[in-house]
A = this chain, B = another copy of it.
């Protein structure tokens, strides 16, 4: 089964998630800069964070399916939908984090949402590694997957820090995003040495 429709559907869902979060930004009631600062400061910050996260997932998803020429059925489709489910909750948990002005429970819930999406991505990747040809390629590319394995622990650190002071919890969440933003050339290097996949 070719992967093109799975990719198109995932692109659609991710594109909508990223854009729908803007609808959750409250337009300031007044028309001065202080109104923007008061009403939308937290909204813009959390929007940037969630935008970057969705961007990272889109990038990694794109790379993973780039080296996958074929999928073998339902369980990959559902592992993918499972990932999209947790990502689709980002607009909701982001809006709560924003409207509560970074209170304790919303910060914890946001971190749990990040962790659930990370786990779902890991499950999808494991599932794809079990496939005959794609699996070997993926294992070559992902290697020890240090980032994938470290992320849940850093999210957990954020959740724990939130109990000290809610906004402290955001620091590990931002750190994970930055860690993934650092370019990872493995897939590109792999594609460069396997020209037939790049077409």
Contact = CB atoms under 8 A, between A and B. Distances in A.
Copies of this chain present in the complex amount to 4
Contacts of A174: none
Secondary structure call for the A interface:
helix
Interface residues of A, number: 66
A149 interface: no
B5 A105 contact: no
A16 interface: yes
A16 B19 contact: yes
Given A16-B16, A20-B19, A55-B78, A92 B2 contact: no
Interface string A93-117: 0011001100111100100000000
A91 B25 CA distance: 10
B74 A22 contact: no
A174 B66 CA distance: 35
B105 A33 contact: yes
5 contacts: A9-B15, A9-B62, A12-B16, A13-B15, A62-B77
